[in-house]
Amino acid sequence: MDLNRHDFELDELMERIRTNDNRLIALQVPEGLKMQALEMMDTIETETSAQVVLAADPCYGACDLVHDKMQLMGVELVAHMGHSQMNIDSGMPTQFINVTYDGDPELSPVLPWLNQHREMAQRRMRQQEQNDGLSEEEAQERFMDAVGRMAPLSDTKLGLVGSIQHLHLLPEFHDRLEKAGFDVTIPIGGARLSFPGQVLGCNYSGDDPSIGHYLFLGSGDFHPIGLVLHTGKPLAMLDPYTGDAEEMSLERIERILRQRFGLIMSVQDAQTFGILIGEKPGQMRRTLALRMKRMLAKQGKKGYLLALEHVGPELIDFYPVDAFVNTACPRIAIDDAVKYRKPLITPFELEVALGEKKWELGYQFDEIP
Ligand code: SF4
């Protein structure tokens, strides 16, 4: 990642500090940008009269806003960088700071994937139209998406999405892709998302049945894995940092699903569960955690509520329970499962293990709305 090609939009923040005459502010930056943090602190302290304290704990999203603990330190304003505002209130005045990357990758490397995926979506549409006389099971077998759900398509549009630092590319890419012959839509999601085309690791709410396949502008496979697990649709990736294109292979998704099913089977006889509740403002799902506890009790099993700011194997593995259910960041159970000695499952997976939901009806991604 070339940090010099990132634009850290600090002007609005410094204007707000001057207007409010803030004396102490907290700066919160994502892990990938921490190397630049001291330089940013210097800039803010030189250009304004505020002192800056870096919130140096790990930060992976706007779900993780510095909250009122910082008030004890006398912090008046939080500057949160690299993520956009969510539908949460941390209890602290917060300025969100955009970070954009100026990479503008060529379209050509990704076109073969997009053509292939559009054909897959068109095939799914054609099969839907030929469903006369099929039993429910046969229809399920023939029309299910990549995660095993019956989810009919109404169209085969290309859904164009990206991670936050590349969202400014979407309008231009929309036009380029339309010129290349695709019917493109930039999905608009729910209240957890601030911008059209935005996706989060825990929220892909812009998806709708008119979208047959996706193009993701961004790097890494974190968002692509979540998007395919959530939508069951083919996805191509174009990386603005490298210009490389690839697809999120359905074999990879199948492997993840097999691992999830294995974990569900492994907790069938478990009697005691630790139910993790995230203390971060945008990960706290108390009602869901309590529902899991009640569901376990109904079946004569025991659930212990464990509240944590950070979740990690060293923080939970030693509890004398048989397994854990995670209601904090949904991606911890999916992406980090192998790091834990005991099974770590999502709420949906617990419902399947307890017979409250059916695996055969398809995988349900754990989304925070
Ligand atoms: S995926 Fe996890 S870390 Fe990212 S925004 Fe969602 S809850 Fe936060």
CB 212 within 8 A of CB 118: yes
Range of the domain at 135: 108-248
Domain shared by 315 and 330, yes or no: yes
- For residue 201, the CA-to-ligand 1 centroid distance in Å is 6
Joined together, the tokens standing for residue 180 give: 């290349």
Residue 133, pLDDT above cutoff 70: no
pLDDT in tens, 187-226: 999 999 999 999 999 999 999 999 999 999 999 999 999 9
Number of Cβ atoms within 10 Å of the Cβ of 346:
24
Sign of torsion over alpha carbons 145, 147, 288, 190:
negative
Is residue 72 included in any domain, yes or no?
yes
CB 64 within 8 A of CB 30: no
Joined together, the tokens standing for residue 358 give: 């059916």
Helix pair 222-231, 250-266: axis angle to 10 deg: 70
Domain shared by 228 and 323, yes or no: no
Distance CA 345, CA 337 (A): 8
pLDDT in tens, 236-248: 999 999 999 999 9
Q: What pLDDT shows up at residue 266?
A: 97
Domain shared by 122 and 226, yes or no: yes
Closest CA to 3 of 38, 33, 31: 33
Distance CA 251, CA 70 (A): 45
Domain boundary pick from 201, 216, 248: 248
Distance CA 49, CA 306 (A): 42
Domain shared by 119 and 231, yes or no: yes
Domain shared by 211 and 307, yes or no: no
pLDDT in tens, 121-132: 999 888 877 766
Whose C-alpha lies nearest to ligand 1, atom 1? 201
Domain shared by 60 and 169, yes or no: no
Domain shared by 8 and 46, yes or no: yes
Q: For the chain, what is the radius of gyration of the CA atoms? A: 22
Is residue 57 included in any domain, yes or no?
yes
Whose C-alpha lies nearest to ligand 1, atom 5? 61
Q: Ligand 1: residues whose CB is within 6 Å?
A: 60-61, 63, 200-202, 282-283, 329, 331, 368
80, 96, 329, 335: residue to mutate for ligand 1 pocket, most atoms within 8 A of CB: 329
Domain shared by 18 and 139, yes or no: no
Q: What pLDDT shows up at residue 141?
A: 64
Distance CA 155, CA 121 (A): 8
Q: What pLDDT shows up at residue 1?
A: 56
CATH for 264: 3.40.50.11860
Is residue 369 included in any domain, yes or no?
no
Strand 211-217, strand 235-238: pairing: parallel
Q: Say what the alpha-carbon torsion angle 117, 120, 124, 127 is, to the nearest 10 degrees.
A: 160
Strand 235-238, strand 245-247: pairing: antiparallel
Cβ-count burial of 46 within 10 angstroms (0-12 exposed, 13-18 middle, 19+ buried)? exposed
- For residue 134, the CA-to-ligand 1 centroid distance in Å is 41
Q: What percent of the chain has pLDDT over 90?
A: 82
Domain count across the chain: 3
96, 221, 368: residue to mutate for ligand 1 pocket, most atoms within 8 A of CB: 368
Residue 325's DSSP bridge partners are 275, 345
Domain shared by 233 and 299, yes or no: no
Distance CA 120, CA 114 (A): 10
Domain shared by 35 and 92, yes or no: yes
Distance CA 20, CA 39 (A): 23
pTM for the full model?
A: 0.92
Whose C-alpha lies nearest to ligand 1, atom 7? 329
Domain shared by 228 and 351, yes or no: no
CATH for 172: 3.40.50.11850
Read off the pLDDT of each residue in 135-155 and give the average, rounded to a whole number.
76
Read off the pLDDT of each residue in 294-305 and give the average, rounded to a whole number.
98
Is residue 261 included in any domain, yes or no?
yes
Q: What angle do CA 122, 169, 117 make, to 5 degrees?
A: 15
CATH for 60: 3.40.50.11840
- For the CA of 86, the closest atom of ligand 1 is 5
- For residue 353, the CA-to-ligand 1 centroid distance in Å is 25
Closest CA to 78 of 96, 94, 63: 94
Domain shared by 223 and 284, yes or no: no
Residue 3, pLDDT above cutoff 70: no
Cβ-count burial of 210 within 10 angstroms (0-12 exposed, 13-18 middle, 19+ buried)? middle
273: confidence class by pLDDT, cuts 50, 70, 90: very high
Domain boundary pick from 226, 248, 270: 248
Residues in the chain: 369
- For residue 61, the CA-to-ligand 1 centroid distance in Å is 5
